[in-house]
A and B are shown apart, each in its own frame.
Chain A
């Protein structure tokens, strides 16, 4: 099925460890995003990309890094995990076509706990 695929679905990290959250989409969307959602809160943008080779910071980028070597993949890297990074992480992609209103497709999320 076409869509946005995130792996893993769950992960427990120890403080100071690193990991990469994987995200891939097969809809040929130019735009991709990483959001985090804390309990009872809306989503906050971590990083985004408007195309292969182009990335930029969102609202809460500290402690994270991204890369976009292909249109399909947009991995999120956590370096030196901290308890404040305990959250649910969502990857999303959208059209870059204004006539289609930047319709979003979200992945099912990665639930990360840092202990």
Chain B
């Protein structure tokens, strides 16, 4: 059974710092991995999607990497800003049929202090 773990559960950094959020998964047979952002009381917004054949994806100040063999993904946020404060969730899609189902980690809650 696939399990997804995110460490740390919470992180507080001063504005301007570069930071890394970690995601690990137990079954390396994944179809893709996605990183989502969740603001308090809101739904989830997709940030980056990495296909199993890819090693990384970039969008602005965000860079996500994927190492399937070690079951790890990282989300790198450059020059953090207070507006980056949110909960970040990673999710993997396995090969359990053609359904698109995702398995989520518990999330990392990020606070960027001005």
Chain A residues near B45 (CB-CB < 8 A): 106
Whether A48 pairs with B43 at a CB distance below 8 angstroms is no
Whether A42 pairs with B106 at a CB distance below 8 angstroms is yes
Least distance between B15 CB and chain A CB atoms (Å): 25
Given A103-B46, A108-B43, the answer on whether A96 and B98 have CB atoms closer than 8 Å is yes
The number of chain B residues with a CB under 8 A from chain A is 27
CB 8 Å contact bits of A38-65 with B (1 = contact, 0 = none): 0011111100101000001010000000
Chain B residues near A104 (CB-CB < 8 A): 34, 36, 44, 46, 100, 102
CB 8 Å contact bits of A88-115 with B (1 = contact, 0 = none): 0010101110000111111111010000
CA distance A111 to B43 in the complex (A): 11
The number of chain A residues with a CB under 8 A from chain B is 29
Q: A40: nearest residue on chain B (CB-CB)?
A: B106
Whether B44 pairs with A90 at a CB distance below 8 angstroms is yes
Q: A42: nearest residue on chain B (CB-CB)?
A: B104
CA distance A105 to B42 in the complex (A): 13
Whether B101 pairs with A45 at a CB distance below 8 angstroms is yes
CA distance A41 to B44 in the complex (A): 14
Chain B residues near A90 (CB-CB < 8 A): 43-44
Whether B43 pairs with A107 at a CB distance below 8 angstroms is yes
Whether A43 pairs with B32 at a CB distance below 8 angstroms is no
Given A43-B89, A106-B44, the answer on whether A101 and B102 have CB atoms closer than 8 Å is no
Q: B49 in the interface, Cβ–Cβ < 8 Å?
A: yes
Whether A45 pairs with B102 at a CB distance below 8 angstroms is yes
Q: B62 in the interface, Cβ–Cβ < 8 Å?
A: no
CA distance A18 to B41 in the complex (A): 24
Extra A-B contacts (13), CB below 8 Å, given A40-B9, A42-B4, A108-B43: A31-B100, A40-B107, A43-B91, A45-B101, A56-B99, A58-B101, A95-B100, A101-B32, A102-B31, A102-B93, A104-B100, A105-B46, A111-B41
